[in-house]
């Protein structure tokens, strides 16, 4: 398994973790920005993270039937962990603002489901996927992700297994530290288009 330092190095090399001054989709400001799509666009680097994460998942979740990922961010990591662990992998999509299963995907009653994401911050997408699992009469065994940003403050009940945990501070516009206020802010991310 990769160490914290090795994982951090890969995230920085692939620009999945960058430093600067960022305005997040929440409106908060941050000195670091996470974009796992950058990591996953470089398969020769991503494979190291995925193999290590799959090993951690296998040690933690001994018995599960299915991997469910939220679109878009979780699809690639969910697929690759499913490929490595030889598990069926499906994804949910937003329909009128709500996660649904489409494309004839289904969760069978009594399935044990692992929910996979690229990054878990608030756990909102994971909770929405959890509802799909519950509605099907199945059970969530836990959550997996490349980066856990929850700071241990998640509302998720089951265990989160991550490749790396990051504690990235955020600030309101009115409480910026001097180090950030001196740098021009950038508004990255998929929700800021």
Q: Angle at the Cα of 138 (from 73 to 164), degrees rounded to 5?
A: 35
pTM: 0.88
In terms of Cα–Cα distance, which of 5, 39, 36 is closest to 189? 36
Task: Determine the pLDDT at residue 24.
Answer: 81
Q: What is the pLDDT of residues 130-185, one digit of tens each?
A: 999 999 999 999 999 999 988 877 778 889 999 999 999 888 989 999 888 888 89
Q: CATH code at 170?
A: 3.40.50.2020
Q: What is the mean pLDDT of the chain?
A: 91
> For residue 83, what is the DSSP state?
H
**pLDDT bracket for residue 189 (50, 70, 90):** low
Torsion of CA 129, 131, 132, 135, to 10 degrees: 170
Residue 102: HSE in the Cβ half-sphere, 13 Å Cα cutoff: 10
Measured torsion, CA atoms of residues 17, 190, 40, 90, in degrees rounded to the nearest 10 = 130
Q: What is the pLDDT of residue 27?
A: 82
- Contact, 138 vs 107, CB < 8 A? yes
Tokens read off for 104? 């004839």
Per-state percent for the chain, helix, strand, coil, to nearest 5:
35, 30, 35
Expressed as residue numbers, the domain containing 12 is: 4-192
Given this model, what pLDDT does residue 37 score? 92
How much is the pLDDT for 157?
A: 81
Average pLDDT for 5-32: 91
Domains held by the chain: number: 1
């Amino acid at each position: 398994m990769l160490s914290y330092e090795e994982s951090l190095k890969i995230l920085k090399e692939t620009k999945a973790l960058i430093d600067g001054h960022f305005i997040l989709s929440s409106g908060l400001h941050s000195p670091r920005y996470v974009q796992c799509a950058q990591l996953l666009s470089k398969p020769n680097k991503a494979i190291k993270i995925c193999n290590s994460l799959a090993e951690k998942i296998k040690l933690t979740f001994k018995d599960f039937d299915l991997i469910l990922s939220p679109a878009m961010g979780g699809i690639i990591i969910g697929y690759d962990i499913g490929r490595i662990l030889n598990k069926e992998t499906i994804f949910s999509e937003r329909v009128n603002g709500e996660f649904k299963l489409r494309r004839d995907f289904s969760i069978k009653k009594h399935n044990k489901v692992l929910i996979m994401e690229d990054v878990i911050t608030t756990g909102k997408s994971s909770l929405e996927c959890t509802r799909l699992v519950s509605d099907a009469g199945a059970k969530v065994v836990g959550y997996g992700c490349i980066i856990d940003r929850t700071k241990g403050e998640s509302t998720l009940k089951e265990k989160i297994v991550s490749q790396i945990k990051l504690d990235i501070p955020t600030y309101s516009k009115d409480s910026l530290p001097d180090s950030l206020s001196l740098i021009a802010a950038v508004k990255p991310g998929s929700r800021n288009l």
